[in-house]
Amino acid sequence: MSDKTFLLLGGAGLVGLQVARAVAREIVPQRVIIASLYQREVREALSVLKKECAEVEWLGVWGDVFVRADFQHERRSDLLASKAHRDDLYDDLLGDLDAAYKRSRLVQLIQEYKPDVIVDSINTATAISYQDAYTAAVIAKQKMDALFGEIEALTRTIHQMQAPVVAPIHAGEGNEGNEGEIEREREREREREGNGGGIPAAGSEGIGDKRFAIRDTRTEGIQAAYSREQVEHLSAQVNAQLAKLAELRKPAQRAFEALLISQAVPQLVRHVVLILRAMDEVGTRLYLKIGTTGTGGMGLNIPYTHGEDKPSAKLMSKTAVGFAHTGLLFLMARTPNAPIVKEIKPAAMIGYADINMRAIQERGKPVLRYAPKTQKLNGTLVLRENADDYAERGKLEVVIVDTGENGMFAKGEFEAITAMNQMEFVTPEEIASKVVLEIRGVNTGNEVLSALDSTVLNPSYRAGTLRRAALEDLTRLENETHIPSVALGQLGPPELSKLLFEAFLLRQRYHTLERVLNQRPKKIADALYTWLKKHPQIVELIISVGLPILAPDGETLLRGPFLRIPERADTNLVKPTPEDIDAWGRKGWVDLRPENFVLWRERFEQMERAREGLRGRGSSAVTTEAYLFEEIRIGEVVAWVFNNEEEGYRIK
């Protein structure tokens, strides 16, 4: 075979090592790169492989291929502990694709070695799903609830500070000690009434005014003291709440950001997009994925998990990611110029690598033996106590069967999981044999994507016949209503609607390809703009679906209340540059500038040449480059653009 370089992702693992052996033995490439997570595993694998097959050049690399190159040797827990690193992970996952492509460790690996064949035996579904978005969601909600609860409490306190402070006046308060004074004032008032006809002297106050003046003086004093006390109390409360907010903010922020970057679907989509782009760049011939069912072939009733309780949402997430990955590979296999794409999906436990006595480890740390303590179940049960409070009895050593990525099982566990009608198992050597056959082009009957190809329901002859009838009905109704049916903007991208409306304008003014080709671009631009001025209902139709019309001068815009392009979620105001206008004109504006019609003339020239080439060649001339009509049919024209400029056509 012509394949000289093989890249085995997960090549030091249980399956990857057997694939390496089979490839070296049966294909004998010039070099094989073993890529795995841990340096120790890679070195152990290379030590074995170099002895078994010295004629192959064996190379080893290690590190996490799901992150940027700078993070390849970092633990994920350490990355999540750093605000700067969380921001970097977010950018790599949800930020600019081109920038993420340049930073990706996986991309750099493919660019460096330019493999002809990639065999990917990494358990991608486990790597992604066991970041555990469920636990991250629970923690994030707890932290955010605590934060927002404190914000609400602070808001209430501030509202209290802004409200008028009124001292509580109880019954009798403010009257004690001055009732006698009030009574004496009443007596003097009666005497004045007897002397002066009941009319108070000028400048004198009525008895009611006197009474309330005395009470107001005392109340104001009480009010001032109460206000000071309340303000001091509320100020202290605000300071305490601000300190609590500062304490809660960072844990809440960390939990929320960890939740964002633990989402499985964005990680999987970006992983597939990056690897496809890298393989296309270096010319990889074949990509073969060893996938997973997530449950070892069992159903939703699976009685096993990866150590957590059942039913396990994480395990179901693993299955969901595993088959989502299959779906994306199905699309990759239908992408023009992509490598050959295959997937083998074992539906049983894979085993085994070794049987021996060894010290057990969990999450990279040794499991210790402890002497037990006795506790009565009549109070609180502490789930995790300080291990230092228990007497250690050394490391826990057990006879185990090593099943690679699936973990280590004791005899009882292995006996149960491999029993008849349980998960059972398949050997890595059997998988490696299938892999080599598929690489060599032999149909094994176990390749998943070809099975999907043979079972999906494809376009039909009946639908093709009905398409013509539907188009005729649409044309008849257009003519009856005098309302053109071009685009609604609801089938994206906006570029589709933009191209359809531009083709529509060319058809309305010139009707055929030949007549467009007989005009200069400047004349076409001016003619279409003049035509639009005479047909305001068409202008209204275009702008009402979110497409602005850029006038021939490149400075005037006819627009409606919203624009589909540019798409900006962060702001409603933009200051366009000439480069922006060019980009938006290509993406979603009806562009009437002359330079756009230079492009349209080039398209029509290619269509016309292809149409003329139909004569004498028969059906062999009907390819994606062919355009079969003299007149401008807007849908056919835009389909031609997608076929030939965007490579957006189906190959199966």
Distance of alpha carbon 388 from alpha carbon 382, whole angstroms:
15
Spell out the residues 6+ positions from residue 575 whose beta carbon is closer than 8 angstroms to its own.
none
Distance of alpha carbon 606 from alpha carbon 615, whole angstroms:
15
Phi, psi (rounded to 5 degrees) for 357:
-100, 125
Tell whether the model's pLDDT for residue 46 goes beyond 80: yes
pLDDT in tens, 200-217: 444 444 444 544 454 555
Distance of alpha carbon 118 from alpha carbon 5, whole angstroms:
9
In order, the DSSP letters of 450-504 are HHHHHHSPPP-HHHHHHHHHHHHHHHHHHHHHT------S-SS-HHHHHHHHHHH
Largest distance between two CA atoms of the chain: 135
Take residue 281 and report the two structure tokens written for it. Answer: 């760049």
- Residues composing the chain: 652
Contact assessment for residue 359 and residue 397, using Cβ atoms and an 8 Å cutoff: yes
- The reported pLDDT for the residue numbered 161 is 77
Cβ-count burial of 126 within 10 angstroms (0-12 exposed, 13-18 middle, 19+ buried)?
Answer: buried
Q: Kind of pairing, strands 397-402 and 354-359?
A: antiparallel
Tell whether the model's pLDDT for residue 177 goes beyond 50: no
Q: Name the pLDDT band for 296 (thresholds 50, 70, 90).
A: very high
Residue with more model confidence, 175 or 140: 140
- The reported pLDDT for the residue numbered 195 is 57
- The reported pLDDT for the residue numbered 231 is 75
Phi, psi (rounded to 5 degrees) for 104:
-65, 130
pTM > 0.85: yes or no? no
Tell whether the model's pLDDT for residue 519 goes beyond 60: yes
Distance of alpha carbon 187 from alpha carbon 190, whole angstroms:
5
Contact assessment for residue 294 and residue 324, using Cβ atoms and an 8 Å cutoff: no
pLDDT in tens, 62-80: 999 999 999 999 999 999 9
Take residue 336 and report the two structure tokens written for it. Answer: 């023009």
Q: Which CATH number fits domain 5-132+264-350+418-450: 3.40.1280.10, 3.40.50.720, 3.40.228.10, 3.30.2310.20?
A: 3.40.50.720
The CA angle 554-557-562, to the nearest 5 degrees, is 140
Contact assessment for residue 446 and residue 431, using Cβ atoms and an 8 Å cutoff: no
Residue 442's Cα: distance from chain center in Å? Answer: 37
